[in-house]
Amino acid sequence: MSTELPEPASKIELKPGVGGGGEIPQFNITLRVRRYLPETTADAYWEDFELTMYGTDRVLDALHKVKWDIDGSLSFRRSCAHGICGSDAMRINGRNRLACKTLLKDLDHSKPITVEAIKGLPLEKDLIVDMEPFFQSYREIMPFLINKGHEPSTERYQSAEEHSKFEDTTKCILCAACTSSCPVFWTDGQYFGPAAIVNAHRFIFDSRDDAGDMRLEILNDKEGVWRCRTTFNCTEACPRGIQVTQAIAEVKQAILARSI
């Protein structure tokens, strides 16, 4: 049994064409993917895919379309697909970006959109690199709270001012976009890299942490912060908008202040 509901008093008559979703624009793109299939070919090569995509689509959607509808052998990492997990960092049109945060409508469609794996880490397949060297450096800076005192019965208090010193660097999602955009890291894999320094910064400037000196000592290495050439590639690449180069400079200053 159905009853006719009276129209709500708040209903507004819209003129045709105003409001609503309307039709989503559609466009054709060429997705140029750097393929590497170690089982069948010795070298990496470019492969083009012609796709029809929508204005709301991201580069990740284009990759999904290729993998699900065209060529299932295309390999890439992605987990949450919403810019939180940091799995799908890749070089899009020569810049390190998260595929899930890069809208196709913001890219130039007159040229092929190039997608390749991040640089500086060993390539395993297509867009997948071995992240182990990256996490090795991350582990070395001890990315966990070290506190000498007794464990308090309540939470560890911290003022808003104390928190603001390292708030920016807490945003890191470990996607490796910064480290793999760093020209120093490309030629010197032993360099700790921006991501490890950012995560060290997060604890060095935390008032609740007592191991700042140990971390500064670790980063005062030949391959530590002094390897940074302030090219700002890392800041430009960070999908979370962390001021990476500034964080590195603050760690440099902290090491200097501690030594002098």
Partner 1 sequence: MSAEIAAPRSQRLDPKYTRARKSRGSFEMIAWLFMRLSGVVLVVLIFGHLFTNLLVGGGVKAIDFGFVAGKWADPVWMFWDLAMLWLAMLHGTNGVRTIINDYAEKPATRQWLKGILYVATAAIVILGTMVIFTFDPCIPGSDLLVCK
**Residues interacting with partner 1, by CB under 8 A?**
38-39, 42, 122, 124, 132-133, 136, 183-184, 187-190, 218, 220-224, 226-227, 229, 252, 255-256, 259
CB of residue 133 vs partner 1: minimum separation in angstroms? Answer: 4
Using the minimum distance from each CB to partner 1, give the nearer residue, 53 or 228: 228
Using the minimum distance from each CB to partner 1, give the nearer residue, 99 or 251: 251
Which residue type is seen at 23? Answer: E
Spell out the SS3 assignment of the chain. Answer: CCCCCCCCCCCCCCCCCCCCCCCCCEEEEEEEEEECCCCCCCCCEEEEEEEEEECCCEHHHHHHHHHHHHCCCCCCCCCCCCCCCCCCEEEECCEEEECCCCEHHHCCCCCCEEEECCCCCCEEECCEECCHHHHHHHHHCCCCCCCCCCCCCCCCCCCHHHHHCCCHHHHCCCCCCCHHHCHHHHHCCCCCCHHHHHHHHHHHCCCCCCCHHHHHHHHCCCCCHHHCCCCCHHHHHCCCCCCHHHHHHHHHHHHHHHHC
Using the minimum distance from each CB to partner 1, give the nearer residue, 139 or 171: 139
CA distance 84 to 247: 21
Q: Tokens representing 122?
A: 């060993």
CB of residue 106 vs partner 1: minimum separation in angstroms? Answer: 33
CB of residue 91 vs partner 1: minimum separation in angstroms? Answer: 20
Using the minimum distance from each CB to partner 1, give the nearer residue, 170 or 246: 246
Using the minimum distance from each CB to partner 1, give the nearer residue, 36 or 166: 36
Using the minimum distance from each CB to partner 1, give the nearer residue, 82 or 139: 139
Widest CA span of the chain, in angstroms?
84
CB of residue 224 vs partner 1: minimum separation in angstroms? Answer: 7
Using the minimum distance from each CB to partner 1, give the nearer residue, 73 or 136: 136
CB of residue 228 vs partner 1: minimum separation in angstroms? Answer: 9
CB of residue 129 vs partner 1: minimum separation in angstroms? Answer: 12
CB of residue 231 vs partner 1: minimum separation in angstroms? Answer: 11
